[in-house]
Amino acid sequence: MVYPVSARLSTLEQEARIEIRRLITVVALIAVGVILLAAVIGTGDDVGTIVSVFATRFLGIFIEAVPFLLLGTLVSGLIEAFISAEDIARLVPRNPFFATLIGTFMGFTFPVCECGVVPVVRRLYTKGLPMSVGVTFLLAAPVINPVVLVSTYAAFGFGNVLILRFAITALVAFVIGLVFAVAARPQDVLQPTSLAPVMGGSGEAIHLPTARKTKRKPLLIGLRDALVMAGDEFFEMGRYLIIGSLLAATMQTLVSQDVLLALGRGPVVSVLVMQGLAFLLSVCSTVDSFLALAFAGTFTTGSILAFLTFGPMVDIKSTLMFAGVFKRRVVLYLILLPLLLTMLIGIWMNLNIAF
């Protein structure tokens, strides 16, 4: 089955975009440099000490987080290499309620990194996964998987944050999935290339015994592909982790406690700030707990949870990828609904629960 190739940008447009992106990057870097210089001068300590403390804090986050990033990408790579979309689509029950429920927890048996979840969902759709289950899986799988469980436990121990992170994610994903199940038709939600080719693209679960099965890869080739993918993904995703860690380390080293507390103590402001950070930093969900930990001393628990539940669902990277699978307006809903739900939950917790 050949899908129509989307129109490519003309080379000129592509070049222009690259140039603009480069310009923005340079300007941003200069601005950051100036701000850092001002902050360093402002503290009064000598530069050598500051650099040393900064490096320790930065490397601390990096060293703790990196094993999880590697494991996450390796596991994703193995899943991609060895498990076909048919296996997954076949396991989904017909009843929309149970299907959505399964979708919420499927990430545990098919862990995919947040970055890999969109292509996986698209492939699942083409194999007949019901539309609402795909939405739920998309939102829940980045958190509800074993690697994130362990890394969140490593960062926060067994306590409120760990339990609530999973509970809130499951709840929000399930609710949004149900909304899609009852209120939307697949044809209005999905891009044409994502609809199942048979049955007029109804998006309902279909079992096609005669459908062409994807050939399973031989073990060694699969392993090798997984390794290569893990390596590439480490650079792709490691970028965001490192930038986020640099930011967190800068914040801990150069920004005074008072400023942080001013931002972090307000029940509403703290949630908004953390959600904004989560969106911008776009850190992989397997390691964002360690970044959140850096803020845990000064920010409210509700805001930390908002960071940990909203970030994996929506960020710059995933927004761009949603556009490839869902229609424009739906992408907007997929951003706004998690934003509002996690925001409300975070604020409610700050106001009502004494952690």
Partner 1 sequence: MEHTHEHSHDHERGEVITLAAKSAILIGLGTYFVYNIVSGNLTNYINERFGWLSYVAAALFLLIGGYSLYHLLTEHFPAEKHKHDGGEGEHDHDHDHRDHAHDGHNHLSWGALIVVAIPLVLGTLIPSRPLGAESVDGSVSITAAAGANVTTFAIEPNKRNVLDWLRVFNATDGDYAEVSGQPVDVIGFVYSEPTFAPDQFMVARFTMSCCVADASAIGLPVLWPGAVEQGVWVQVTGVIEVGEFRGEATPLVRAESVAVVEQPEHPYLYP
Asked if 236 interacts with partner 1 (CB under 8 A), we say yes
| Cα 79 from Cα 75, distance rounded (Å) | 6
CA–CA dist 268, 249 (Å, integer): 24
Q: To which residue do tokens 């700030």 refer?
A: 273
Instruction: Answer yes or no whether residue 82 interacts with partner 1 by CB under 8 A.
Output: no
Burial profile 196-212: b = 16 or more Cβ within 10 angstroms, e = fewer: beeeebbbebbeeeeee
* 231 lines the binding site for partner 1 (CB under 8 A): yes
Q: Please pick, from the candidates 290, 310, 322, 326, the single residue that binds partner 1 as defined by CB under 8 A.
A: 290
Binding part of the chain for partner 1, among 88-96, 150-158, 163-171, 306-314 by CB under 8 A, reads: 150-158
Contact between residue 237 and residue 115 where contact means Cβ atoms under 8 Å apart: yes
Shortest distance, position 227 Cβ to partner 1, whole Å: 5
Report phi then psi at 113, rounded to 5. -70, 150
39 counts as binding partner 1 under rule CB under 8 A: no
Q: Which stretch binds partner 1 (CB under 8 A): 94-102, 155-163, 167-175, 188-196?
A: 155-163
Q: Which stretch binds partner 1 (CB under 8 A): 87-95, 192-200, 250-258, 330-338?
A: 250-258
Q: Does 204 bind partner 1 (CB under 8 A)?
A: no
Q: Does 243 bind partner 1 (CB under 8 A)?
A: yes
55/340 with CB nearer partner 1:
55
Least Å from the CB of residue 214 to partner 1: 16
Whether 194 contacts 122, CB under 8 Å: yes
Dist. CA 41–CA 18, nearest whole Å: 35
Number of CB atoms found within 10 A of residue 102's CB: 17
Site track for partner 1 across 13-32, x = CB under 8 A: ------------x-------
Would you state the torsion angle of the CA atoms of residues 127, 128, 133, 134, taken in this order, to the nearest 10 degrees? 40
What does the alpha-carbon distance between residue 120 and residue 79 come to, in Å, rounded to a whole number?
10
Task: For residue 234, state whether it binds partner 1 (rule: CB under 8 A).
Answer: yes
* Footprint on this chain of partner 1 (rule: CB under 8 A): 25, 45, 49, 51-53, 55-64, 66-68, 70-71, 74, 154-157, 221, 224-225, 227-228, 230-232, 234-236, 238-239, 242-243, 246, 248, 252-253, 257, 290-291, 293-294, 296-297
